[in-house]
Structures are given as C-alpha cells and as structure tokens.
Homo-oligomer: A and B are copies of this chain.
Amino acid sequence: MAKPNRRDIFKMGAAAGATAIAASARAAAQPAAAPPADDSWSNALGPGVDSRPYGRPSRFEKDVVRRYVPWLSPTRDADASFTPLQDQPGIITSNGLFFERYHAGRPTIDPDRYRLMISGLVRKPLLLTLDQLMRFPSVSRIHFIECPANGATEWPAAQLNSLQLTHGMVGCALWTGVKLSTLLDEVGLLPEAKWLLASGSDGAHMDRSLPLEKCLDDCIVAYGQNGEAIRPEQGYPVRLVVPGWQGNVNIKWLRQLQLGKTPWITREETSEYSELLPSGKALGFTWVMDAKSVITFPCPEKPLTGGPGFYEIRGLAWSGRGRIKQVDVSLDGGVNYRRAKLDEPVLSKCLTRFTLPWRWDGKPALIQSRVTDETGYVQPTIAQKHKFWGNDPVYENNSIQTWQILASGAVNNVQIS
C-alpha cells in the first residue's frame, strides 16, 4: 500500500505557520507557554567547562529512570526494577537504566579478591583471578537478556498501564568476555560430563543447571558491558551470558562452574522455574525465550500529543532462537497487518528496532506488533497463550501487546480477545 505522505508533516491547516505548529504540538503535553521570542537558550555558557572524569546524563533527563512495582515483592532484597523502554531510542540499553532483578540481594565484590572456580568432571580444575580470566581469547557480542517474568502481571488481565512496567524486564548490551567453550576446552571435559552448574554470589549462591550443548555453543563468561565493566546490578565483575535463554540462567556475580552428569535440580529449578500446566504436570527447563515484540511509541507513557497527523510507530522485537525475520503491525486490533521496517543490523538473539510510518486520523485505534523469527515461530496472542498455560501461569508472557489509542491521543494497555 502507498506510504503515508510525509510532506508537510505538521500541516494542520493552510494558515498554520511554524510557530503555530510549535504551540499546538506542545499544548497537549505541557502547561501553556509561549515559544521563546529569543534564542537566549543557546547563549548561556555557564562558569566554564567542568570536564567530568565520568559523565552523567543531563539534569533535564532526571525522569528517565528505572522504576519498580512495590507490591511485587515483600522485601527489597528480592526485587526488580524495570528498563524505561519508552525512553530507549535504539537497541542498546543504557548501563544506568538496565533492569535489575535480585533473588537474594546484590553482593559487592572486590575484583582483586574475585575468583572463578571451574571444577567437577574436568581433567584440570582451575581457580582463576579476574586478570587471568581476561587473558583468555575473548569475544564481543550484542545480546538481549530478558527475565521470563517479564509481563507476568498481565496474565490475568491488563493490570499496569505502562510500557515500562509490563515489558521492562529486558535489556540489550554489548557483552565482552571469554566464550565458555574456551574455558571448558582449557580445563578439559571428562567424557561423562553432560551438564554444567553455574552458581553466583548472591545470598543464596543462586545456581542453575545448563546442558553441555548450550555451554559449548554461544555462552560467554562476560566482564564487559557497553564499553566498561559490568555494572554491580548486572553482576560485577563477571556474569554468565547465555544468549537467548531466560534471564535467571545468565548467572550474575559468577563464582563457580561445575561439570556433572545430570542436572542438579536446584532450589530455583523446583520452586520457581518448574511451571505448572493445566494437566497438573510441570514443565521444566523452559529455557529459550520465545520471540516477542512490543510497540514502544506510542505507549501509555508516550501518548500522541500533536493531534491527528503523521507519526512513526516504533518498537523492539527479539527472539531467543536467533534473528528476527519480520515484524507486522496492526492498527485495528489484529484484523489487518502491515510489514514494518527493520533497522540494520539485524542480529541473532539481540533486540531489533522496527518502525512503521502512520498517518493518524484522530480516531480511536488498537495497535499491535507481531514478530516472526527466523525459525518461523510467530508471536501468539494472550488467548493462545492461555490455551496452553491455563489461567495461573507466571512466566513466558511473550504475547502480542495491544495499545488502545483514544481520540485524545492517550494510550491505554488493553487486552482483546
């Protein structure tokens, strides 16, 4: 179909001049204020340049922060905060805004005292310092990490009128470190070694079992995050990155890698990540994050403030199975779909940005995105998810998100059958 006409993008009427457009575009969002009659905003120098050894955002960006849902957890030790996706312009998540999730607190680790133990069914166990870990051949890869509880509040109904709080347990960064396969090659696996237990340094030394095949594939023992050391919230100084697999196996503050014959069936693997099905049986080891997408503009935090006219719908899509193949956007609640444009590069197990030009006629609309990944997997609706999971699931909510646009330009989180 024909692309919307972008010419005269802000054309609101023949007599509308640029200044009038400025006023009307801003009226809905801001208290009424005349556009400045002068350009003094660009002339203020200040007392000189305080060149900062380590920079920080503009103070005008103070509302771009992680947020959390107080009723989600009884204590702050087992808690989470969410990435403000509504303010993330591209696929990289800023280190200061990357979501947090703590099962048993956050340790403060002195890198000089840090040790990584590799033990169990290996020829030569190792105890590595951080310096020694950094000497190994290294790789650098952009991958998302998503908690499988992302969107958990939305299973029963559309509960939180927010992009950040419904989708913000995901982040994407450039991770640098040593391939786990390199380390396993160094210690030498015994033939009986089939599983690996990765454990971290939080209050419970949280641990997860991983099959050897994945360990030898693309896992990274990482120490770098977007140009600097991993942040304390993301596991300083070392975390495991298991591309495309649920967040909790990407063990933070990694302390030990132990090789064994069978999975350990640890506390987290029974109390949390075994998922009850309607049949009464439980599904274990649901590792791979299924493909998911969401429109990040417009969204509840970012309504349409300029009235009818041209907007660009924007969003993010990702899959734990590989690359995104396509994203389709519906403007009528899933009846018709249009193909969105994907930003290059499209990388495997990584966020991909999509856009769709849209001329909004000012009427209510129901907008959604639906991703298909390279395996052919198609993002399901929440109804389709309930058919499999029943009514009480916690995890795996990768369902299509519908945003309801009102004539006022406000955006609501809704669920439609």
Contact string against B for A residues 98-128, beta-carbon threshold 8 Å, 1 for contact and 0 otherwise: 1010101111111111110000000011111
Q: Are A115 and B226 also in contact (CB < 8 A) when A9-B135, A56-B96 are? A: no
With A140-B343, A237-B58, A306-B135 already in contact, the answer to whether A51 and B79 are too (CB < 8 A) is: yes
Q: Are the CB atoms of B229 and A61 closer together than 8 Å? A: yes
How far is it, in angstroms, between the C-alpha of A21 and the C-alpha of B49 when the chains are bound? 46
Known contacts being A58-B237, A65-B54, A96-B54, is A227 close to B137, with CB within 8 Å? Answer: no
Tell me which of B52, B53, B105, B355 contacts A45 (CB under 8 A): B105
B53:A65 contact, CB within 8 angstroms: yes
Partner of A125, one of B18, B21, B98, B174: B18
Annotate A134-176 by CB proximity to B: 1 below 8 A, 0 otherwise: 0111111000000000000000000000000000000000101
A282 interface residue (CB < 8 Å to B): no
Stretch at the interface among A243-251, A309-317, A405-413: A309-317
B48 touches A66 (CB 8 A): no
Selecting from A35-43, A363-371, A372-380, the interface stretch reads: A35-43
Beyond A44-B107, A81-B51, A109-B42, whether A228 also contacts B140 by CB under 8 A is no
| In the complex, chain B residues whose CB is within 8 Å of the CB of A50 | 76
Task: Let me know if B227 and A186 touch, CB within 8 A.
Answer: no
- Find the B residue at minimum CB distance from A254: B42
Chain B residues closer than 8 Å to A111, beta-carbon distance: 58, 60
Q: 8 Å CB contacts to B: which residues of A292-345?
A: 305-306, 310-312, 314, 343, 345
CB-CB < 8 A to A108: which residues of B?
44, 46, 58
8 Å CB interface, A168-189 against B: 174, 176-177, 182, 185-186
A75 to chain B: closest residue by CB: B48
Give the residue of B60, B174, B228 whose beta carbon is less than 8 angstroms from that of A64. Answer: B228
Question: In the bound complex, do residue A55 and residue B233 qualify as a contact, i.e. CB atoms below 8 Å apart?
Answer: yes
Most chain B CB inside 10 Å of its own CB: which residue of A43, A96, A182, A253: A96
Contact with B along A204-232 (1 / 0, CB 8 A): 01000000000000000001101111011
Measured between beta carbons, the chain B residues less than 8 angstroms from A97 are 54-55, 227-228
Contact of A226 with B76 at beta-carbon distance under 8 Å, contacts A41-B110, A106-B49 already known: no
A67 within 8 A of B: yes
Q: How far in angstroms is the closest Cβ of chain B from A145?
A: 14
- Closest chain B CB from A162 CB (angstroms): 15
A29 and B131 contacting across the interface, CB-CB below 8 Å = yes
Q: Once bound together, how far apart are the Cα atoms of A236 and B89, in whole Å? A: 14
Q: Decide: A96 and B55 in contact? CB cutoff 8 A.
A: yes
Confirm or deny: A279 has a beta carbon within 8 angstroms of a beta carbon on chain B: no
The answer to the question of A285 belonging to the interface, with a C-beta cut-off of 8 Å to chain B, is no
- Are the C-beta atoms of A138 and B355 separated by less than 8 Å? yes
Report the minimum CB–CB distance from A273 to chain B (whole Å): 21
* Complex CA distance for A8 and B227, rounded to whole angstroms: 29
Are A89 and B224 in contact, with the CB atoms below 8 A? yes
- Judged by a CB distance under 8 angstroms, whether A68 is at the interface is yes
Contact of A7 among B9, B186, B205 (CB under 8 A): B186
How far, in Å, is A4 (CB) from chain B's closest CB? 10
In order of increasing CB-CB distance, the 3 nearest A-B pairs are A89-B224, A94-B227, A89-B176
- 25 residue pairs of the A-B complex, CB under 8 angstroms, read A6-B185, A6-B186, A21-B132, A25-B132, A30-B112, A39-B255, A41-B114, A42-B201, A49-B106, A51-B102, A54-B57, A55-B66, A57-B95, A58-B231, A58-B236, A60-B110, A61-B229, A89-B138, A89-B223, A89-B229, A91-B140, A91-B174, A94-B95, A97-B227, A135-B306
9 more CB-based (< 8 A) A-B contacts, given A9-B186, A51-B233, A137-B355:
A30-B112, A48-B76, A51-B68, A52-B233, A53-B65, A54-B96, A58-B108, A58-B109, A89-B227
